Amino acid sequence: MNVIFAVVFLGAALVFLLADPEGFLPAMLAGGEKAASVCLALLASYCVWLGFFQVLEKCGLSRRLARALYPAARRLFRSEDRQALALACQNIAANLLGLPGAPTPLGVAATQKFLAAQNGYAAEMLFVLNATGLQILPTTVLALRAAAGSASPADILLPTFLATLLSTLLGAALVCFTALPLRRKKRRPA
Amino acid sequence: MKYLSLLLPLLFIALFAFALVRRVRLYDCFTEGVKGAIPLLVSIFPYLVSVLILSELFEQSGLSAALTRTLSPLFSALGIPPEIGKLVLVKPFSGSGSTALLTDLLARFGPDSYIGRCACVAYGSSETVFFISAVYFAGSKKNLARPVLIALFSNFISLLFGCLLCRLL
């Protein structure tokens, strides 16, 4: 990220210097302004979903979900931490349903738990699962297509699902095969 | 499509009804959860700002337009309509930016055209990789090059596959 930041920032700054020196600061401030409004939107959805997930937790449903998925999740993330795995499972479920804004707080909490336990592998796996857009119902796209007057908004469901399934499987496989073998010493070979 | 909007209210009703049966104190519990929102936002805030400032510079300096122009022959060679090139480039940085681009593409080419369908699949099958990496790994010193590259690569392959599917289906 440091390299990307340096390269893109300096590249853009050079273009501004040569073409439009006065536009440089306004562009950065526009970015800051966008960040502020995105933060407000995120805060709103975090409030709703964190409240929702607390209720889910209190009535024991999240524990039940985690217990059902524990054997699979343990292998996928190579982790024994039940609490972190429960969060990761809920994150994946929220992604699949396309609940807007819901996966992030769960994913952040799970990642922090994985990293605190020095399990970089699990954190990477969870990140790649999220960053490859694993989703059954692309709710945003459906809404936009309907708004644009599409004859059949659901037309793209199948190709989108197949494409995102491919990217998720590919990403997970790549994480699995390129993982540093450091942590494997503790595990029995599968 | 009509039933889809029922999902969210149903989800909340089902959970809250179940919670009442379980004698959960709903108000206290919901409030307890909301408490976590501000600390979460504070922890990701600096990373979010840096990524969004970077994406704004990338966009406004014309670098993204130049990159789109340079890459468009490559894109058409790979079967990606060059019209959606910009969407492909912006998506890893910014969700709101790419949503605006998708809306624009749908208005210009129509949602049921080949380009419109490709744009939808490209949007739906990829994710805001840099944004997610900034938020999920906020504050960690982990080297992210490998997972970020894996995510970008997988998303790109799925884009190729998605465009191919749009032509076939």
Nearest-5° Cα angle at B10, B4 to B15? 140
**Distance separating alpha carbons of residues A175 and A69, to the nearest angstrom:** 20
**H-only helix segments in chain A:** 2-19, 24-58, 61-77, 82-97, 103-116, 120-131, 139-147, 157-178
The helix or strand, by DSSP H or E, that contains position B168, with its residue range, turns out to be: helix B145-168
Interface of A with B in 136-165 (CB under 8 A): 137-142, 144-156, 158-160, 162-164
Please give the single-letter amino acid code of residue A188: R
- Residue B69, SS3 per DSSP: helix
Which has the closest alpha carbon to B145: A55, A187, A120?
A: A120
Nearest to A8 among B7, B11, B54 (CB): B54
Its pTM stands at 0.83
**Distance separating alpha carbons of residues B37 and B43, to the nearest angstrom:** 10
Identify whether the C-beta of residue A115 lies closer than 8 Å to the C-beta of residue B142. yes
A34 touches chain B (CB under 8 A): yes
Unique residue bearing structure tokens 């909490």: A109
What is the ipTM for the molecules in this complex? 0.83
**Distance separating alpha carbons of residues A115 and A174, to the nearest angstrom:** 20
From B159, which residue of chain A is nearest by alpha-carbon distance? A163
The helix or strand, by DSSP H or E, that contains position B2, with its residue range, turns out to be: none
Unique residue bearing structure tokens 């993982």: A179
* Domain segments of chain A as ranges: 1-59, 61-190
Residue B157 φ then ψ, to 5°: -60, -40
**Distance separating alpha carbons of residues A17 and A12, to the nearest angstrom:** 9
Along the 190 residues of chain A, how does pLDDT read in single tens digits?
Answer: 788 889 989 999 999 999 888 889 999 999 899 888 888 888 888 899 889 989 988 888 888 887 888 888 888 888 888 888 888 998 988 888 877 778 888 999 899 899 988 888 899 999 999 998 888 778 788 888 888 888 888 888 888 889 989 999 999 999 888 876 555 444 444 4
